[in-house]
Amino acid sequence: MFDSPAGHRDTRELIAFRVGMLECCINIMTVREIRGWTQTTALPKSPPFVRGVINLRGSVLPVVDFAVRLGLPETELTERVVIIVVQSGAQQIGLLVDAVSDILTMTEAKIHPTPDVSSPMLKLFVRGLLSVDNRMISLITLENVLPALEPETV
């Protein structure tokens, strides 16, 4: 595997993290910061994947348990869990994940499409699949992480 000079403009850096058994990655440009776990304040009448809100230097940041969002069991609060603060549109969201695992440099060409048979939940977030050292890493889009104001139809 090598990067051709011509493909350089397609090169992007991704940050990989573990969510339960899955390994996912997001564009590093969307990441504002990575911080340790802070006790959240629960929000009433919120979806189960919203752990609550934390104070991020004066602004109120919702924290999404990404495992629950993907339909996996709730993230266990170990020493290694981190909150990845990401920018999604005008909003900032905290993603609670098990651990940050890697930083990858990828070209668009290496991204494989998501198989059609995957669950509808995964289809909401997974834009493609990467193969790195025999590991399969899902490339995540952030658009649908927070629920829209309307109840979800998918």
Partner 1 sequence: MAAIKQTFFQECEEQLAELEAGLTSMDGGAADSETVNAVFRAVHSIKGSAGIFALDKLVKFAHVFETTLDAVRSGRLNATPEVIKVLLQASDTLSDVVRAARGEAPADEEKTQKVVAALTHLISPGATQTAAASAAKAEPAAAPAAPPAEKIWVISFRPHAELYANANEALPLLRELARLGRTEVSLDDSTLPALTELDPEGAYLAWTVTLHAACDEAAIRDVFEFVEDECVLEISAPATAEVGDGFELGEGFEFEIYAPGGEGIDFEIYAPGTEDAAPAVEAAHVEQAAAGPVEAMAAKAEAGAPVSATIRVDLDRVDRLINLVGELVINEGMLSQRVLEAGITRASGVAMALEELEHLTREIQDSVMAIRAQPVRSVFMRMPRLVREVADQTGKQVRLLTEGEGTEVDKTVIERIADPLTHMIRNAIDHGLESPEGRTAAGKPLEGTVKLSAAHRSGRIVLEVSDDGGGINRSRVKQKAIDNGLIAADAQLTDNEIDNLIFLPGFSTAQTISNISGRGVGMDVVRQSVQALGGRISITSIPGAGSTFSLSLPLTLAVLDGMVVRVGRHTLIVPLGTVIETLKPKAENVHALDSQLRVLSLRGGYIPLIDVAEVLGYSEAPIDMAKAVALLVEGEGGRRVVLLVDAIDGQRQVVIKSLEANYRAVPGIAAATVMGDGRVALILDIDTIVSVTRTEAGRLTDGETTETSSKNEMTYV
As measured in angstroms, the least distance from the Cβ of 52 to partner 1 is 8
Q: How far apart are CA 68 and CA 107, in angstroms?
A: 29
Nearer to partner 1, 49 or 126 (CB): 49
Binding footprint of partner 1 on the chain (CB under 8 A): 38-46, 50, 52-55, 57-62, 91-93, 146, 149
As measured in angstroms, the least distance from the Cβ of 89 to partner 1 is 10
Nearer to partner 1, 40 or 75 (CB): 40
Nearer to partner 1, 6 or 90 (CB): 90
Nearer to partner 1, 37 or 138 (CB): 37
